[in-house]
Structure 1
Amino acid sequence: MAVEVGTTEPTEDVIDVKEVTRAERLRSMVARHRAKARKAAEQQRVNVARRVNEWFTSTDVTDAELAAEIERKRRREQHQGERELRDRVRMLREQLRAADENTAPALSAQLTAAQAQLQIRQDEDADRMKVSGRDLVRARWMKRATRIGAVGAGSLAYVNGVAAEPLLALLSLGAAPVAWLYLGREFATDEAPVVPAAVGPDGTPIANAAVPGTPFVPDTLAAMGRVSVVKPESGRVQGEKDLVTALIKAGIITAAQRDETHLAGVIRPSGPGWTATVDLPRGVKSSAAVSRVEDLASALRIKKSRIEISADTTDDGHEGRFVLWVANEDNPYGSEKHPSRLIDADRWDFWQQGIPLGGDARSTRHEMHLLWSSLLIGGLMGYGKSYMARLVAAAAALDPTVRIIVITGKTGPDWAPLRHIAHQWIAGATPDIIRRVLGVMEQTIGEMQDRGTELDRLYEEDPESVPEGKITPELAAKGMGPVLLVVDELQELLDGAALVQVAIEDEPEGGGRAKARSGRDLMVEGFARYVRVTRFVGGMGVFITQRPDADSVPTKLREVCAKRASYRVKGDRSAKMVLGDDAVANGAAPHLLGEASKGVVVLDQGDEQGHVTLKADVIDLPQFREICLRGRQLRIDAGTLTGDALEYGKEDAAAAAAALLLTDCLAGLNAAGIDRARTERLMELLAFHHPGRYGEMTRAQLQAQLRDAGAGTTKKIGAVDGMANANGYTREQIAAAVKTGK
């Protein structure tokens, strides 16, 4: 029996599995998007709340930024205050010069008070710049109060505005979504939270000494975010790992020594830059880093002028530790000139106050005490050597107990103001001048040795008057004051002396040539001997040269100068010629200064403090002349004006009297409305207008003084006073003499 096979119709719909899977995926995707949207909205709400909270609590501003803001504000106030006090001192000086005997005491008291205020403000500059933790707390609360007040004032203004103009509410509704989106944006993914201060090996927290509360600097660039206390452009180093990598790139250490190199403390802000103290691997000296400044600058991708490296000379330092400072800018010293405090000083105590020099890159002021030592200044032409020496001379000029001797290898106005007070003043490098210099040095050394003999006598009779075997301020006030020798253009003097042969013995009795020596050798020995043997009796020297090489800076002279200063030079060899090998090995680097470093000097004072790089204060030539004139009056009052200054004063007084006579003659002719006059008529005019000066003058005296003043003798002036062709003087004749005198 056959069975028929066929298809049957299903009684129910068949379920499509693929369609079901697709629907489930769609629902799942929608659910994920909704969850993600809810999460994003929640995160945006959190971000808005966080940013608003940070803004109102001012936590969006770091302590480093607050400290910089406080320092900028204080610096502006400081400059404004100093400027006002300087203007007041100058005004009182002018009023005092023109004051009569009744008003002079009151003006003098006001001037003294103003100068004292200026001195106090300048002395407090460094302390005023320090930012304490209390200052940061106060500044942060002030910022919070300001922001809350601004919001309150803005809200009140908004409510009043909406009441007056309802359309303002509609406009603000359009701005609200934009503000919400801006405030709700995601925070940077590389932003790191503020972490506790680092701890040392013993578990003790390492405090940040620069700005209290500043967060510890993380190791990597990616982890820095907004908590960085080091600007990204400041050497591109944000942590220990970055700095150690730079040391490897510079060849200071090897890659294998990475783990042996670490920081002693943390990277921290320091003035307009940052600083770090680095412990090198055992067996690696700090001089290895000091000598590779240019390589380190290349590794940091910055200019070498921004880096200062020095051995750590603190109590905790050792031979394998160095201190690195990196400036935020290529020229951290700035381009502005800073006037010296000496400009407005009526008097200066060279013993106690020393010499105010200037400020370093971190705005710290520096002074130098020159007593018992000498100073050598070198560097390229036009970078400020004479300005620094002028600071020393100005401080000495305002102390009437200091005797000054000036020897310069060329003529010119640079040291001319010192002629008013200098005991000896010599300019030039001719053979005759060279011989005079040698004679002055021999005479000065002899006089100073006589002081030593006097000190011996005083010690025997009264030991308490010479407690250390040296002169004292009391002895200086009695006439045994310090002696400052200023020698400029040393290279010109030595070149000129090399052409001079000086006999050192009399001509032999039997005839023949007397023994002679090079004037250069004798000059070097004379300067060096002066520094050596006169130090304990107040002898000081300032030697200036613009060609720092072996010929112009003899080792015999450099080695006896305890203090040395170098402006920009072309290489480390020249730097060593001025500062010495040890100073350069310890990081003194005038050869790394650039074109923009005019006025910047590297000073090695020869003590444990090592060297410092600073921008010297400025005294221009007219101001220097005013200082020297004040110094002259101080010496006249104290009875210490001696030597060439006495004769120069006489010549100066005669020149002033001649100029006054010519001016009075012109004024008399103008008053009479005439352009020529006989001698008798000119005498009448002078006696009428200035009877005290010319009332007793005779005809012959007037003619002689006019001749000495450059007006010449009388000449035919035509018909005057009823005479057809009289003798006398014309306006042009006298005016020409005035012009020639100027």
Structure 2
Amino acid sequence: MALDINQSHESEDDGIIDAEIVEEPGRIEQVKAKAKVGFDRQKANVVRRAGEWATAKDVTDAELAVEIERKRRRANAEGDRELSIRVKTLRAQLRTASEYEAPGIQDRLAAAEAQLGIRMESDADLMKVSGKDLIRARWTKKATRLGGLAAGGLLYVNGLAVEPALGLAGLAALPVGWFYLARPFAAEQLPAGAPAFPVQATGEPVPEAFMPQTLADMSRVSLVKRASGRVQGEADLVTALIKAGIISEAQRDETHLAGVIEPAGPGWTATVELPRGVKASAAVVKVEELASALRIKKSRIQISPDTSSDGHDGRFVLWVANADNPYGTGKVPSALIEAQVWNFWEQGIPMGPDARGDRHTMHLLWSSLLIGGLMGYGKSYFARLVAAAAALDPTVRIIVITGKTGPDWSPLKHIAHRWIAGASPEIIREVLDIVNGTIGEMQDRGTELDRLYETDPEAAPEGKITPELAAKGMGPVLLVVDELQELLDGAALVQVAIEDDPTSEGGRVKTRSGRDLMVEGFARFVRVTRFVGGMGVFITQRPDADSVPTKLREVCAKRASYRVKGDRSAKMVLGDDAVANGAAPHLLTEDSKGVVVLDQGGEDGHVTVKADVIDLPDFKAICLRGRQLREHAGTLTGDALDYGKADAEAAARTRLLTDCVTILDDLQFDRARTETLLEYLKGKIPERYDAMTKAQLQARLRDAGAGTTQKLGPIDGMANPNGYFRDQIANALNGK
């Protein structure tokens, strides 16, 4: 239809129609131009995406790291699973094994656990992704794609030759491929200023904290793995807090991390900023709920309020271990075993490593320690660390009171000023006398310090003892009380007369319960002797109200708890505040032998460590060194003096009998005259026997149990002289 653009019309409508018709050719050109731009953009996207796909540039380093880690973990999972099943099976067998089968099973279990630990450590190293790993993975993916493309093209050409219709049908996939490749890039769809995070294989964005800046930072991509708490980033951690009931879903956006999730020893740590109005204590008391949300064991989690300079009551620190038992199962020997001398004042007590491998030291001077927990988890070993450090410092006086007899504390007889064991009525009264007498002596020391402070202030600054005063005989006094529950039970059966008010109006003697007096005595010792060097270590197996009196617990600034059965028992030992702040001995497991939660009071807070170990033979050697140090320093006092004399005399008798038997065996004599035996003793060991006379040798052999001289029969050209038979002396040596 031809149009005359110069034709005129009178109607307004016709005028409008003419205008639209006149403008139509311009609109057509605009539509064509816009369509061409869109097609060019699609074509550019297709070419760009196809090129990136063929060269594997569409895969980010973060995605490659996730793929590498997943493949490695899948390859190692089966071996770890089999080894874990073996460990569980051996543990089950050990619980029902007889005393003859148990040692063999224990050896196999220890080997399996060690192997599992090595695998876990090697797995952790294996999961680290290096720059070379990324380059190799990208080239592998590129070769795979190009190889697949070439194979597909070859198959298509062959199919077209064999069956043209089938080959032509394959062209129907081109529009679909064109649509997929021509779609706008994700970055073009994001709002202005939004960060374009790379995407993980799971389809979720990689958190900014985990985005690698350089190849050297790539280990951070796989920092938090599913085996380490099922957390992939901040969003996952916040979700776990919601599942645990620490925060609500409505508070998700108000909860964030202060910093990033980062490695910390054999695990990872994060500092969590809670919503306003939510206290850190809300998270601290929900360890078990959080463990359930993370699908891990509660023994792997540690939560504590953030006490750093930037911390506040709405922020807590979370640490999650890579293994169920981050403390391990082996024993760590104490450094005190090899120490020849120890400065209790400056070096304190080396305790052991925490779950992250950091070692901790406790300073007990000016404070006391209460130790509680279930039987068999290491309480005596922990107290032994304190006693060993004190034993190797000759300025420290030690008093030992234990509620039952046994070898645990026997080595301290060599150095203890007082050593008493048992819980009979007589012993209970003796314990009360010892405690009261020690308090009186320490108060006299306080009086002397007051005098020194007035006459020589520099000798007693702050009115306290100093290392210099300790070296002169005014050293610290360590009171070790073991089996506290046995002592208190025994004391409850004893009535003690009140000396200040001996009789009532009816003429009867007034008495008080020995238990009340014992609790008051121990508590008073802690209170009034602290400033003059008094220290107490109290150990109990039953962490309940009867065995851990509040009056005694509250004056002990430091409290340590091994495994207990519930938070109520934990509070009995550590106190409500410590448990509220995250101290959790009730969350320790059967595998936690040797693991102790120590609350040091004040700003130090609590720490959980695997305590070092000193076995009984090593403890005895330490105490013998401590005795030598005290003998040299002139600080050996009390019961140790008498015990040492008897011990030295017994050792001298044994040494004489041994020397005589050795001499006769070397000479192959079955008997010897006294003169002959003494002659050979002087020639063999002159430093010991050179000044000895015949009469002295006879007297000492008689005291050693060898008896008097006997007729020997013909010997040395004599008809029947007096002397000693070899068997006569050997029988005395063997106690016959």
TM-score (norm 1): 0.70
Deviations for 1:404-433, whole angstroms, at most 9, x for unmatched residues? 111122222222222222222222222222
Which residue, 463, 474, 483 being the options, matches 1:469?
Answer: 463
Note the C-alpha offset of 1:44.
Answer: 4.5
Note the C-alpha offset of 1:718.
Answer: 7.0
Which residue, 485, 490, 494 being the options, matches 1:491?
Answer: 485
Distance 1:357 1:392 in 2: 9
Q: Which residue of 1 aligns with 2:419?
A: 425
Q: Which residue of 1 aligns with 2:40?
A: none
Note the C-alpha offset of 1:294.
Answer: 1.3
Q: Which residue of 2 aligns with 1:596?
A: 591
Note the C-alpha offset of 1:689.
Answer: 3.3
Which residue, 264, 269, 281 being the options, matches 1:270?
Answer: 264
Note the C-alpha offset of 1:285.
Answer: 2.5
Q: Is the 8 A contact 1:507 1:514 kept in 2?
A: yes
Give the share of equivalent positions with the same residue, in percent: 72
Q: Which residue of 2 aligns with 1:573?
A: 568
Q: Which residue of 1 aligns with 2:383?
A: 389
Give 1:333-344 correspondences, 5 Å limit. Answer: 333-344=327-338
Distance 2:728 2:564 in 1: 53
* Count of residue correspondences: 581
Q: Which amino acid letter does the alignment assign opposite residue 485 of structure 1? A: L
Distance 2:518 2:460 in 1: 32
| 2:509 aligned with 1:514 | yes
SS at match of 2:636: coil
Q: Which residue of 1 aligns with 2:437?
A: 443
Distance 2:146 2:650 in 1: 79
Note the C-alpha offset of 1:696.
Answer: 4.9
Q: Which residue of 1 aligns with 2:681?
A: 686
Q: Is the 8 A contact 2:345 2:467 kept in 1?
A: yes
Q: Is the 8 A contact 1:47 1:183 kept in 2?
A: no
Q: Which amino acid letter does the alignment assign opposite residue 285 of structure 1? A: K
Q: Is the 8 A contact 2:464 2:532 kept in 1?
A: yes
| 2:404 aligned with 1:410 | yes
Q: Which amino acid letter does the alignment assign opposite residue 351 of structure 2? A: L
Note the C-alpha offset of 1:510.
Answer: 9.7
| 2:352 aligned with 1:352 | no
Q: Which residue of 2 aligns with 1:583?
A: 578
Note the C-alpha offset of 1:458.
Answer: 1.5
Q: Structure 1 residues 702 and 486, CA, compared in 2 at 3 Å: closer, same or farther?
A: same
Q: Is the 8 A contact 1:429 1:493 kept in 2?
A: yes
Q: Which residue of 2 aligns with 1:83?
A: none
Q: Which amino acid letter does the alignment assign opposite residue 288 of structure 2? A: E
Q: Which residue of 2 aligns with 1:563?
A: 558
Structure 1: tracts of 5 or more residues without a match: 1-34, 66-138, 151-175, 199-205, 218-226
Note the C-alpha offset of 1:463.
Answer: 2.6
Q: CA RMSD in A?
A: 4.0
Q: Structure 1 residues 402 and 318, CA, compared in 2 at 3 Å: closer, same or farther?
A: same
Deviations for 1:274-299, whole angstroms, at most 9, x for unmatched residues? 12222333333222222221122112
Q: Is the 8 A contact 2:503 2:510 kept in 1?
A: no
Q: Which residue of 2 aligns with 1:181?
A: 144
Q: Which residue of 1 aligns with 2:546?
A: 551
Q: Which residue of 1 aligns with 2:703?
A: 708
Distance 2:215 2:312 in 1: 27
| 2:428 aligned with 1:434 | yes
Q: Which residue of 1 aligns with 2:653?
A: 658
Structure 2: tracts of 5 or more residues without a match: 1-44, 74-127, 150-198
Give 1:117-196 correspondences, 5 Å limit. Answer: 180-181=143-144, 189-190=201-202
Note the C-alpha offset of 1:601.
Answer: 0.7
Q: Which residue of 2 aligns with 1:27?
A: none
Distance 1:239 1:195 in 2: 6
Note the C-alpha offset of 1:686.
Answer: 3.3
Note the C-alpha offset of 1:465.
Answer: 2.9
Q: Which amino acid letter does the alignment assign opposite residue 422 of structure 1? A: A
Q: Which residue of 2 aligns with 1:540?
A: 535
TM-score (norm 2): 0.71
Which residue, 234, 240, 243 being the options, matches 2:237?
Answer: 243
Deviations for 1:316-363, whole angstroms, at most 9, x for unmatched residues? 323232221111100111122222222232322222222221111111
Q: Structure 1 residues 320 and 430, CA, compared in 2 at 3 Å: closer, same or farther?
A: same
Compare 233-242 and 700-709 and name the one that shifted more.
Answer: 700-709
Q: Which residue of 2 aligns with 1:279?
A: 273
Compare 291-300 and 730-739 and name the one that shifted more.
Answer: 730-739
User: Higher Cα Rg: structure 1 or 2?
Assistant: 2
Compare 715-724 and 584-593 and name the one that shifted more.
Answer: 715-724
Which residue, 359, 370, 389 being the options, matches 1:365?
Answer: 359
Q: Is the 8 A contact 1:575 1:589 kept in 2?
A: yes
| 2:607 aligned with 1:612 | yes
Q: Structure 1 residues 44 and 619, CA, compared in 2 at 3 Å: closer, same or farther?
A: farther
Note the C-alpha offset of 1:301.
Answer: 1.2
Q: Structure 1 residues 593 and 183, CA, compared in 2 at 3 Å: closer, same or farther?
A: farther
Q: Which residue of 1 aligns with 2:448?
A: 454
Note the C-alpha offset of 1:396.
Answer: 1.6
Q: Is the 8 A contact 2:674 2:698 kept in 1?
A: yes
SS at match of 1:346: coil
